[in-house]
Amino acid sequence: MLVPGKPGQRLQFIDARDLAAWIIRMVEERQVGAYNATGPDYALTMGRLLEECQPVTGRDDLRPLWVDEKFLLQREVYLPLWTPAEEAGAHTVDCGKALRAGLTFRPLADTIRDTLVWKNGGELVAGLKSEQEKQLLQQWRAEGHA
């Protein structure tokens, strides 16, 4: 399975349901202000995300093949949740103010499971199609990478 970057690369995102619930609470409580509302409330990495995906998907047969960002950028490949290292600051936003204002997050496994159910219910609109991934992996290996 092609995975961009490195296992320790930071990652931030928020389940839209968590964001919506928090915004509604803020409106109901008449709270205003500027907030960075992202998550989770711990340092998430690409490696940990994949580790969390395996038991949810039941796909313990998939092994990540970490592909160099330069390789992907040269081919104009951009993937959901991945931000190239040069833009990695986007995944280190301090959301402490939002946390203190009550922003909470459902377990990552729940978001993964529900995203998988949603994805399987329709056409994949983000990411690589299977054939694209196979071609990229063949090119990666042809260039002498493991």
Q: What is the CATH number of the domain that holds 8?
A: 3.90.25
Structure confidence at residue 82 (pLDDT): 82
Length of the chain: 146
Structure confidence at residue 122 (pLDDT): 62
Is the Cβ–Cβ distance between 110 and 56 less than 8 Å?
no
Average pLDDT over residues 96-109: 96
Structure confidence at residue 57 (pLDDT): 84
Side chain identity at residue 46, one-letter code: M
Task: Decide which of 38 and 86 is more confident.
Answer: 38
Q: What is the pLDDT of residues 22-42, one digit of tens each?
A: 999 999 999 999 999 999 999
Average pLDDT over residues 90-103: 92
Single pTM value for the model: 0.82
Q: What angle do CA 130, 126, 77 make, to 5 degrees?
A: 70
Task: Decide which of 121 and 5 is more confident.
Answer: 5
Report how many domains make up the chain: 1
Cβ neighbors of 99 (< 8 A, separation 6 or more) are 41
Q: What angle do CA 83, 84, 86 make, to 5 degrees?
A: 120
Q: Residue 74 sits in which domain range?
A: 2-142
Pairwise CA distance, residues 123 & 126, whole Å:
9
Structure confidence at residue 124 (pLDDT): 54
Q: What is the pLDDT of residues 53-85, one digit of tens each?
A: 889 888 878 788 899 889 999 998 888 788 887
Structure confidence at residue 115 (pLDDT): 86
Give the helix/strand (H/E) hosting 99: helix 96-100
**Share in percent of the chain as helix, strand, coil (round to 5):** 45, 5, 45
Cβ neighbors of 96 (< 8 A, separation 6 or more) are none
